[in-house]
Structure 1
Amino acid sequence: MTPSDAFQNRWSDLDRPPLNVAALRRGLLRPGGLWTSLDVVETIGSTNTELARRAAAGLDEGTVLVAEEQTAGRGRLDRTWTAPARSGLFFSVYLEPGDVPAERWGWLPLLTGVAAATGLARAAGVDTALKWPNDLLVTVEGMERKAGGILAERAGDGVVVGMGLNVSLRADELPVPTAGSLALAGAVSTDRDTLLRGVLRSLEHWYGQWRAADGDAAASGLQEAYAAGCATLGRTVRAQLPGDRTLTAEAVAIDSDGRLILSTDDGLQEPVSAADIVHLRGAGGGLA
């Protein structure tokens, strides 16, 4: 391949330029800040898998790994996450909240959701709703669509938190009809450098508040913020629970442990810490 061929191939999709690593480092890495290193790789199986591997050997808190393309991205319940190269944000961060009681670490994926929604509202001008426990929803033509997901895993002495977010995917590129992207939701910007800086700065802010409150979600304002942005609350949902048990009920609250409180027709309230949730009806439109 000649240099001119390489240049043409690299810029074959001018709507999807590569991330500017130097600019991202200048904007995010600062003395005393949370983010200590940031690397961008062209292609990787899974940023979560790679950071978890590194964490096992010892890793500095605040390490950020970003991929232009993931070939084996993972979601909850071993689901896969794939998208065209440079069409989204695919990244993982390593957090080590050793001074926070371990039983409160379950808030980290919810915290990341709040940070993403807050950062994207500023950077993209898109209202991003939270579907408990780890999905990011946008509205496309009046219907809820999943645009992103979050996966947190214990690794080393801390937690690896990964996010996949559809940014510029066009309708004919969506993996399933219920998916969406920031572009399809009318984002004012799909500049991935701007979006990544916005999300990581917001994550640094919320993580700092949460740690300062010793992981107390109520005292840090996290519990209130999550409930305010959670599209699951006030909805009738179907919860697929461990043990192949299914429960249809109304989602009424998020408790202090980050659990979803479901209220059944007979008036009982059941806290759920792990479940696959389907929105059946209520605020917004369609199933999600």
Structure 2
Amino acid sequence: MTDQAAPHPARGPLDAVRLEAAFADATGLSVELLAEATSTNEVATERARAGAPEGLVVVAEHQVAGRGRLDRSWTTTPGAAVTFSLVLRPTVAPASWPWIPLLVGHAVAKAVTTLGVPARVKWPNDVLLHGDLKVAGILVERVDTPAGAAAIVGVGINVATTAEELPVPTATSLLLGAPAGVTPPDRTSVLLECVAAVREAYDAWQAGGSQAGERLASSYREQCATLGREVRVELPGDGRLEGRAVDVDEHGRLVVETATGLQRVGAGDVVHVRPAG
């Protein structure tokens, strides 16, 4: 018989008792923990259309058919990732909604950093470790419900995924990316820290008016790994844009300096070509 190594402490089931206790003490938040789901965004959308209030968090122990931006799939190994969706019902003007994905990516990157693993964000909301390795993906969808429009915020984070389990070479996990001497956080800690960070950032942004929007934009720019980089942007409809990312404007659009002038991108897939300089 061959001895098998014990799983890393970061891996394993979520602590349901700890989650219930934490959410019981959290104002404006509730949790629904599922053993398995095709997509937590799909479940959260159903709940929102059935009248779920803002603050419902749908968590899946294992997500079998997750979706990312631009209709990409998000695959995870059982017990190795955190996948959740949060129902929000923003009251800000519709023109400000494009900032929600950026806000969420920024908040998740801050939460991961707080847990001991320094992270940055690639425009609009991919969370990166060690330069350009993606550790978390985010999908925000607007859905119409009888109670008004809702934003469904989906987050997937590789927590204890091993190198052999990574779907692509440009992915990583908190287990692989933690600095030497830092114990990778467990899945329950990651979930609680990320939900709290997103809700805190969202509440401050909603309540603070234009000044809060300006603070978010400034903080996002400081944490954005895309700015100052040569980029290639794959645009919807098979278009392509190349140049230097120089700013994120007041509407959350990426400003790219091209050979023909400044271009503003509201949607697209960004590839970091090389570091600035």
TM-score when scaled to structure 2?
Answer: 0.90
* Structure 2 contact 32–59 (Cα < 8 Å) conserved: yes
* Structure 1 contact 21–39 (Cα < 8 Å) conserved: no
Paired AA for residue 151 in structure 1: L
Say whether residues 1:57 and 2:45 are aligned partners: no
The 3-state SS of whatever aligns with 2:121 is: strand
Aligned twin of 1:119: 111
Aligned twin of 1:5: none
Aligned twin of 2:101: 109
The 3-state SS of whatever aligns with 1:177 is: coil
CA distance 1:105–1:78, change in 2 (3 Å): same
Q: CA deviation at 1:251?
A: 0.4
Pick from 174, 178, 183 the counterpart of residue 175 of structure 2: 183
CA distance 1:216–1:95, change in 2 (3 Å): farther
* Structure 2 contact 120–129 (Cα < 8 Å) conserved: yes
* Structure 1 contact 260–272 (Cα < 8 Å) conserved: yes
Cα deviations by residue, 1:53-93 (Å, 9 ceiling, x for unpaired): 22122111100011111110000111001111110110000
* Structure 2 contact 205–213 (Cα < 8 Å) conserved: no
* Structure 1 contact 38–63 (Cα < 8 Å) conserved: yes
Q: Give, in whole Å, the separation in 1 of the partners of 2:193 and 2:163.
A: 25
Q: Which runs of 5+ in 2 are unaligned?
A: 1-5
* Structure 1 contact 28–201 (Cα < 8 Å) conserved: no
Say whether residues 1:227 and 2:231 are aligned partners: no
Q: CA deviation at 1:218?
A: 3.4
The 3-state SS of whatever aligns with 1:17 is: coil
Cα deviations by residue, 1:20-39 (Å, 9 ceiling, x for unpaired): 122123223336x231x102
Cα deviations by residue, 1:6-45 (Å, 9 ceiling, x for unpaired): xxxxxx84642211122123223336x231x102111110
Q: Give, in whole Å, the separation in 2 of the partners of 1:13 and 1:146.
A: 23
Q: Which runs of 5+ in 1 are unaligned?
A: 1-11
Pick from 129, 133, 143 the counterpart of residue 124 of structure 2: 133
TM-score when scaled to structure 1?
Answer: 0.87
Pick from 235, 242, 248 the counterpart of residue 236 of structure 2: 242
More deviation in 19-28 or 68-77?
A: 19-28
Percent identity (aligned): 41
* Structure 1 contact 107–217 (Cα < 8 Å) conserved: no
Alignment of 1:194-213 (within 5 A): 194-213=189-208
Say whether residues 1:255 and 2:243 are aligned partners: no
CA distance 1:56–1:216, change in 2 (3 Å): farther
More deviation in 50-59 or 12-21?
A: 12-21
Say whether residues 1:169 and 2:161 are aligned partners: yes
Cα deviations by residue, 1:102-148 (Å, 9 ceiling, x for unpaired): 1111111111111111111112x111110111211111xxx521111
Q: Give, in whole Å, the separation in 1 of the partners of 2:212 and 2:241.
A: 27
Paired AA for residue 131 in structure 1: K
Pick from 266, 278, 281 the counterpart of residue 274 of structure 2: 281
Q: CA deviation at 1:253?
A: 0.4
Pick from 115, 136, 140 the counterpart of residue 148 of structure 1: 136
Q: Give, in whole Å, the separation in 2 of the partners of 1:211 and 1:255.
A: 19
Aligned twin of 1:17: 12
CA distance 1:203–1:84, change in 2 (3 Å): same
More deviation in 189-198 or 100-109?
A: 189-198
CA distance 1:66–1:74, change in 2 (3 Å): same
RMSD over aligned Cα, in angstroms?
1.8
Q: Give, in whole Å, the separation in 2 of the partners of 1:21 and 1:283.
A: 45
Aligned twin of 2:76: 83
The 3-state SS of whatever aligns with 1:133 is: coil
* Structure 2 contact 106–125 (Cα < 8 Å) conserved: no
The 3-state SS of whatever aligns with 1:183 is: helix
Paired AA for residue 20 in structure 1: D
* Structure 1 contact 48–161 (Cα < 8 Å) conserved: yes
* Structure 2 contact 204–212 (Cα < 8 Å) conserved: no
